Amino acid sequence: MCISLSLCPSLTSGSQPFTYHHSTLLSSRSTTSKNYPFLIRSRLSMDSTIPEVAYDYSPFLRIYKDGYIERLRGTDIVPSGLDPKTNVLSKDAVYSPELNLSSRLYRPHNTNPDKKLPVLVYYHGGGFCIETPFNFRYHDHLNNLVAVSNVIAISVDYRLAPEHPLPIAYDDSWTALKWVASHVNGDGPEEWLNSHADFGQVFLAGDSAGANLAHQLAMRYGQENLSGIDLTGVILVHPYFWGKEPIGPEGENLETKSMIDAIWHFVCPTSSGLDDPLINPLVDPRLDSLGCDRLLVIIGGKDFLRERGWHYYERLSKGGWEGVVEIMDGKDDEHVFHLNDPTCENAVALLKRIASFINKDKA
């Protein structure tokens, strides 16, 4: 989650359910639009009364009592193209025509036509309910990440809760991965992947909720596989994992815990609870079937999700999973700090660690 939950009012368990309206969209989901598609309408209803706010999660989103949602963050769109700072080239491509869902692709501009690059499939954070690959924060992050790592990257858009509650985001993300895999024979719809992708070196990555997505896709890959691609590694930055019982210092701030508890029920209302394996991988009996060879967990010392990432690392280290897990502990780092301050020393170090992980076996 990119949401700072300490800033959000808590959801109450006794609240009446909402019907979220889809009829009025700012625009279609085409990435050529100047505005990201989120539910919006005039602040005046038909009878000219001011609509009432049910939940105000400023500066992130507001939910009105009539069911409309107003996203206040992460809705900006920046165009794809050549980034002069990093010399990384990007463009948009539809991965699901049926759902009109797109991804943003990145590659170094001066790539040798005959050179194959590792493939990085990236899932953005935002608590499953805000953000987009096409806004400035994530576009800038992917430009920097591709420049440092020398990869071809696919930054995936997925549908957001609460209009599209989980597990929809998991399904969209899997659809995107299958679209990537459709290029293994060099005859897929996207020429960059046909020409430059090394499907023997595929990595999944994400931050916060996106890290949760990357983990779950690695689990699904371990059970279903995708013909022709080798899931070499997974990179989880400040992963959004949680659980019913507090771990360590989580029990010292029950107010924050109750808000994080509520957010999960908000984005996944059909969940079995906080020990659902979707949010708590530590209780997943299938965890040892994680479908990658290597995994990097990055945690922050001042991140309220830190303990979950650390215990996830320990569980993989000592359990029956046959891969190799590494950890990077940024002791002074807050949740997704690198997106807010990408040029600071620790953010640069984070990118270099990811690049080193991806290129570990190269001279």
User: Which string of DSSP letters, residue by residue, matches 72-108?
Assistant: -SS-B----SEETTTTEEEEEEEEETTTTEEEEEEEE
Q: How far is 117 from 146, CA to CA, in rounded Å?
A: 11
Sign of CA dihedral 17, 171, 70, 1: positive
**Tokens 């800033």 belong to which residue?**
7
> Quick one: pLDDT band at residue 256, thresholds 50, 70, 90?
confident
Residue 291 backbone dihedrals phi, psi, to 5 degrees = -90, 45
Q: How far is 168 from 160, CA to CA, in rounded Å?
A: 8
Active site residues: 208, 303, 335
Instruction: Confirm if 140 and 223 have CB atoms less than 8 A apart.
Output: no
Angle at 307 between CA 304 and CA 313, to 5 degrees: 135
pLDDT in tens, 137-165: 999 999 999 999 999 999 999 999 999 99
Residue 176 backbone dihedrals phi, psi, to 5 degrees = -65, -40
Q: Which residues pair with 324 in a beta bridge?
A: 294
pLDDT in tens, 306-335: 999 999 999 999 989 999 999 999 999 999
Q: How far is 47 from 284, CA to CA, in rounded Å?
A: 51
pLDDT beyond 60 at 261:
yes
Residue 237 tokens read as: 């930055």
DSSP helix/strand/coil, 220? helix
Sign of CA dihedral 182, 183, 188, 190: positive
At 20 the pLDDT is 54
pLDDT beyond 70 at 8:
no
At 58 the pLDDT is 79
Instruction: Confirm if 99 and 172 have CB atoms less than 8 A apart.
Output: yes
What is the bridge-based pairing of β-strands 53-57 and 61-64? antiparallel
- 1/217: higher pLDDT: 217
